[in-house]
Structures are given as structure tokens and as C-alpha cells.
Amino acid sequence: MLAGLYPLVEGRALGWPAWSFVLLATSLPLGWLFVRAQRGLVRRGRQPLISPSLLANRTVAVGFLLMVIFYCGMGAFFVLTPHLQDGLGYSPTKAALALVPATVGIVAGNAVGMPLVATHGRRVPMAGRSC
């Protein structure tokens, strides 16, 4: 993950040197090697970091993919905060207060949604999609 994330975080500030593109390109083969290593651990009867059999379950795999997409979107907070302060001239306090409604919405959505999912299952997120 470091091979993919470090160039994306530092590449622009450093003027996108050639090593950043090389590191990005190596992140995919390194990810593939990680998967192979985890499968090898399972074959040898050892405990993997991420069990490959877990991702064989379609529901878990789709949930994992959706979680990755969601948390990538949450990364917008880390971009929005400097933009509010540097780009729009907000003070740190004003920038934090500007993000309070989103934070309250996330916390309230979890507080309301989690008990509903426990009692009603998959129909709760599916109901939100149809609205």
C-alpha cells in the first residue's frame, strides 16, 4: 500500500519525479505478491493477515469494495480542510465548524442505521437506494 500511496501523497509536491511513477507501477505487482503470500500462509496452516476465503464470499467482497469506496470519499475531508483554510481563508475553527454538519450526519446515520440493519437486515440500505 505504501508503494501506491506515497507517490500519490508526495508526488505533486516533489514535481512528480520518475521514481514516483515507478513506485506506482510496482504497487500492483506488490499487491499481487501480497495476495499470493497470504494464500501460501493458508496452505501451510498458518494465520494470514487477510484470509483469502473471507473474500470468496460475495457479500463480504462487495461490502469490502463499498467500504473502500466510502472511505476514499471520506478522504475528501483531508482535502477540504486545507482548501477551506488556505484557499478560502477560513480560520481553523471556522473550517472545523463548516464540517460539523457532515460529521453530525455521519454519526446520526450510524446511530439510526445500525440498529435498523440488526433488525431488518439488507432491506435498510436497499430502502435508502430507492429514495
pLDDT per position as a tens digit, 36-91: 999 999 999 999 988 888 888 888 888 888 888 888 777 777 788 888 999 999 99
Q: Are residues 107 and 75 in the same domain?
A: yes
Do 46 and 40 meet the contact criterion of CB atoms below 8 Å apart?
no
Q: Distance between CA atoms of 57 and 48, rounded to whole angstroms?
A: 17
Q: Are residues 87 and 30 in the same domain?
A: no
pLDDT score at 56: 83
Last residue of a domain, one of 30, 56, 82: 56
* Domain that residue 2 falls in: 1-56
Q: Are residues 24 and 80 in the same domain?
A: no
Q: Are residues 99 and 119 in the same domain?
A: yes
pLDDT score at 126: 63
pLDDT per position as a tens digit, 115-128: 887 787 777 666 65
Q: Distance between CA atoms of 130 and 105, rounded to whole angstroms?
A: 19
- Whether 9 has a pLDDT exceeding 60, the answer reads yes
Residue 44 within any structural domain of the chain:
yes
Cell of 64: 469490502
Q: Are residues 130 and 74 in the same domain?
A: yes
**Helix (H), strand (E) counts: the chain:** 7, 0
pLDDT score at 120: 79
The count of structural domains within the chain is 2
Last residue of a domain, one of 17, 35, 56: 56
Q: Are residues 45 and 75 in the same domain?
A: no
Q: Distance between CA atoms of 17 and 5, rounded to whole angstroms?
A: 15
What count of Cα atoms within 13 Å lies in the side-chain half-sphere of residue 91? 3
Last residue of a domain, one of 14, 34, 56: 56
